Amino acid sequence: MSSKNSEGGWGMGFLLVFFPDEDQNQTQNNNNNNNNNNFNFISKSSSIKRTNSFNLIHKAQSTISICLLLVFTTILLFTISTLPSTSTTSSSARRLYGVPRRNLLQSPSSSPSNLSYALQGMGTLYRRGTRAMNDVVVAHAHDSLSLSELGLFLRLFFRSSLASKSDLLLIFPSKTVKFNSLILQEHESFFKLLTQYKSAHNFSRSTTSFDFTHFTKIGKKERESGEPIWGQKTRTNHSDEGEPELSRASYGSVVGFDVDELDPENSLSGFVDHVPMSLRRWACYPMLLGRVRRNFKHVMLVDIKDILLLGDPLGRVRSHSPESVLLKVQPNLNKHAKRNSDKTELTRKSPIHPGIVMGGSRGVRRLSNAMLTDIVRASIQHKKKKNCATELCIFNQLIGNDHALKNVNLIVSTESLPELSSLGGSGSKTSSHLFTRNYGLIRRGNSNLDVNSMVMKHICSFPIDAAVYSDCL
Give the pLDDT score at 60. 80
- Return the closest-CA partner of residue 205 out of 473, 427, 438: 438
- Report the alpha-carbon distance of residue 195 to residue 199 in Å, rounded: 6
Judged on CB neighbours under 10 Å (0-12, 13-18, 19+), 12 is exposed
Residue length, the chain?
A: 473
Judged on CB neighbours under 10 Å (0-12, 13-18, 19+), 289 is buried
Give the list of residues 6+ apart from residue 288 with CB closer than 8 angstroms, or none: 138, 169, 171, 257, 262
Give the pLDDT score at 84. 46
Alpha carbon of 254 to those of 4, 92, 134, 139, 328: distances in Å? 149, 28, 14, 11, 25
DSSP 418: P
254, 167 contact by CB (below 8 A):
yes
- Report the alpha-carbon distance of residue 432 to residue 453 in Å, rounded: 13
- Report the alpha-carbon distance of residue 357 to residue 151 in Å, rounded: 22
Give the pLDDT score at 129. 93
Give the pLDDT score at 373. 95
- Return the closest-CA partner of residue 215 out of 153, 154, 151, 162: 162
SS3 content of the chain, % helix, strand, coil (to 5): 50, 15, 40
Give the pLDDT score at 471. 85
Give the pLDDT score at 287. 93
Angle, alpha carbons 197-202-206 (nearest 5°):
80
Q: What are the b/e assignments for 109-124, b being 16+ CB within 10 Å? A: ebeeeebeebbeeebb
Average pLDDT by stretches of 10, the chain with 473 residues: 43 49 50 50 53 72 84 77 46 36 49 83 93 96 93 95 95 90 94 86 61 81 84 62 58 96 92 91 95 95 95 93 94 49 48 95 96 92 76 94 93 84 61 70 79 86 89 79
